[in-house]
Amino acid sequence: MTDYAVVNPATGETVASYDTATDEQIERAVASAASAAKVWGATAPADRAGVIRRIAELHRERKDELGAIIVREMGKPIAAAVGEVEFAADIIEYYADNIEVITADQPLQIVGEGSALVRRAPLGALLGIMPWNFPAYQVARFAAPNLAIGNTIILKHAPQCPESAAAIEAIYRDAGLPEGAYVNVYATNEQAATIIADPRVQGVSVTGSERAGAAVAEVAGRNLKKVALELGGSDPFIVLSTDDLDSVVQLAVDARLDNNGQSCNGAKRFVIVDELYEEFTSKFVASLAAVSAEDPTQEDTVLGPLSSLAAAERLQEQVDTAVAQGARVLTGGTREGAFFAPTVLADVTPEMDVYREELFGPAAVVYRVADEDAAVELANDTAFGLGSYVFTTDAEQAERVANRIEAGMVYVNIALADSPELPFGGVKRSGTSRELGLLAADEFVNKKLIRTA
C-alpha cells in the first residue's frame, strides 16, 4: 500500500513511490522518540547546540541535492528551492546560537523571603505534520526550536514530499542526534490520529489547511494534548501612498509570485487607495502578464507549475466561478496542465465566493478603496489573520494601520522579509501559535515554577 509518491508536477511523471508505514513501524517510531526524549532532554544545552549546528551545516552541504528534490516534488523553481534550503539552515543555526537564551532560567520578583524562578523544561516526544509547499523550511522551523528545548520529533511530511522527508531525516541522523530523536513516518491520517492519542506523545504541530488544522485540533483536544496550528491566509497588500510606485509594484509582483503563489503568507488581496489605483493596477497587470510559467529546473525561471494538476484545477475552478459571478479578469485566468498563468481579478464584491477564499497560486485580486478607513475595513473583512503589508509615506499612518490590522504580522513598506529571529503566526482562522524567533521555543515547553524558601 502506498499513499506517498513523488509526482513531478511539470511532467506528470510518477518519479518514485514509498510504502505507507505499517502499524508496527508506527509503534516503533513512537517508542523510539519517547525513549530518546529521556536522553536528549537530559543532554546539556551546549551539547545539543553542537548537534543542531551540525544539522544546519549539513543542510548547506546538501542544498543542491535537497533543492533538486523539492523541484521534483512540488515544482518550485530551482533557484528558489536551493534558497529555501539555505533559509532552513539559517533557521536551524539561529536556535543553536540562541540555545542558552532559550533554556535560561527566568528569575521572578517575589513577595516575601526566598526566591523563585521559571525553568523551561522539555515536554518529550512531539508529532509534526508538515505541508508540501516548503518541504525543508517548514520542518526546520518546527524541529529546530523543539530540539533546542530538548523535545524529540516524530515527523509526518506531506504525502507528495516523501523524498524530502527521507533526505531530511538522514541529515538529522548524520548530524549525531540520538536514535529516535528525529523519526520520519510515512503515516496515514488515521495513524497520525493514533500517534496524537498515544500518551507517550506530548503535543502536535500542524501546518496546512483549515480542514487539516481542524481535524488535528479535534483529535488533540479529545486527548488533552497541546496543539500548535499554522494555517491559511489571504494577506492584504495595502497601498496608501508612495514616493516610488514602481518599486511598490515590483514588491507586489514578487510577493504574489513567491513560491509559485503558494505561500500561506503571500500577498493575495491588493487594496489600493483611489488616487493610486489606476496606475498601480496598470503596472501590476503589465508586470504579471510579462511573466510566464516555465520549466522549474532552469536557473532563471521565476514561476513554475503549481504543486500538482489537482492544485491547478482547484485554482482554475475558483477563477472560473469568480468570473461567472461577475469578476473581471485583467490578465491570465488560464492554464496548461499544472502551469497557471499569472492572473489578476478585479470588480470582486463581498457576494462572490472568491472574496472569502484563499487563492493558492499566482492569482491576485485588486480592490479600489477611498481612504485609510476603507482599506482597513476591507483588509479585516476576512476569516484569516496571518500577515499583512502596508505601504505609506506617513509614519503616523503606518503606526495607526498596523495597530488596526487584524493579523499576526504586519510588514510596513517591505515584503518578503521573513527572518529566523522574527516570529511567524496568525490569528482568527490562520492559526493559534508562533514559529520562528524566540517565541517558537515557548510552544512545547514546561514553564516550571521553582519556589524556594
pLDDT digits (tens, 9 = 90+) for 240-294: 999 999 999 999 999 999 999 999 999 999 999 999 999 999 999 999 999 999 9
> DSSP secondary-structure letter at 350?
T
How far apart, in Å, are the Cα atoms of 122 and each of 33, 96, 101, 130?
Answer: 13, 16, 15, 21
The per-residue pLDDT of the chain, averaged, comes to 97
Q: Most distant CA pair in the chain: distance in Å?
A: 73
Sheet bearing 201-207, strands edge to edge: 182-184, 152-156, 125-129, 201-207, 226-230
In this structure, the strands spanning 328-331 and 343-346 are antiparallel
Active site residue 317: no
348 with 355: CB under 8 angstroms? yes
**Contact 252/351 with Cβ under 8 angstroms?**
no
Residue 244 phi/psi, 5° resolution?
A: -145, 80
Rounded to whole angstroms, how far apart are CA atoms 279 and 272? 10
CA distance to 38, 40, 126, 195, per residue, from 45 (Å): 14, 10, 19, 27
Helix, strand, or coil (residue 349) = coil
Domains in the chain and their CATH numbers? Answer: 4-231+431-452 (3.40.605.10), 235-412 (3.40.309.10)
pLDDT of residue 40: 98
Q: 322: phi > 0 → left, psi -120 to 50 → alpha, else beta; which?
A: alpha
pLDDT, position 1? 46
pLDDT above 80: residue 317: yes
Distance CA 384, CA 232 (A): 7
Evaluate whether 156 touches 20 at the Cβ level (below 8 Å). no
pLDDT digits (tens, 9 = 90+) for 88-147: 999 999 999 999 999 999 999 999 899 999 999 999 999 999 999 999 999 999 999 999
Per-residue model confidence as pLDDT tens digits over 367-392: 999 999 999 999 999 999 999 999 99
Q: Which three cell numbers stand for residue 201?
A: 506523545
3-state secondary structure of 174: helix
Average pLDDT over residues 192-218: 96
H or E element at residue 264: none
Whole-model pTM over 0.75: yes
86 is catalytic: no
CA 101 vs CA 97, 120, 149: distances in Å: 9, 11, 11
How far apart CA 239 and CA 236 sit, in angstroms, is 10
Q: How many helices (H) and strands (E) does the chain have?
A: 15, 19
- CA pair distance 269, 148, nearest whole angstrom: 37
Confidence of residue 2 (pLDDT cuts 50, 70, 90): low
Q: Exposed e or buried b for every residue in 87-111, given b needs 16+ CB within 10 A?
A: bbbbbbbbbbbbbeebbeeeeeeee
Cβ atoms < 10 Å from Cβ of 405: 22
Cα angle 290, 292, 295 (rounded to 5 degrees) comes to: 150
- 201 close to 225: Cβ distance less than 8 angstroms: yes
| Alpha-carbon gap, residue 330 to 282, rounded angstroms | 9
- Grid cell in block for residue 341: 498563468
Q: Residue 336 pLDDT more than 80?
A: yes
Cβ atoms of residues 60 and 45 within 8 Å: no
Q: Which amino acid is located at 35 in the chain?
A: S
Per the residue annotation, which of 84, 93, 264, 358 is the catalytic one? 264
| 3-state SS, residue 116 | strand
Q: Which of 73, 93, 169, 230 is catalytic?
A: 230
Tell me how far apart the alpha carbons of residues 161 and 133 are, in angstroms, rounded to a whole number.
9
Q: What is the mean pLDDT of residues 427-441?
A: 96
Measured in whole angstroms, how far is the alpha carbon of residue 274 from the centre of its chain?
A: 32
What's the number of CA atoms in the CB half-sphere (13 Å) around residue 116? 10
How many Å apart are CA 227 and CA 127, to the nearest integer?
A: 10
Per 3-state DSSP, the chain is made up of helix, strand and coil in percentages (nearest 5) of 45, 20, 35
At residue 3, the pLDDT reads 86
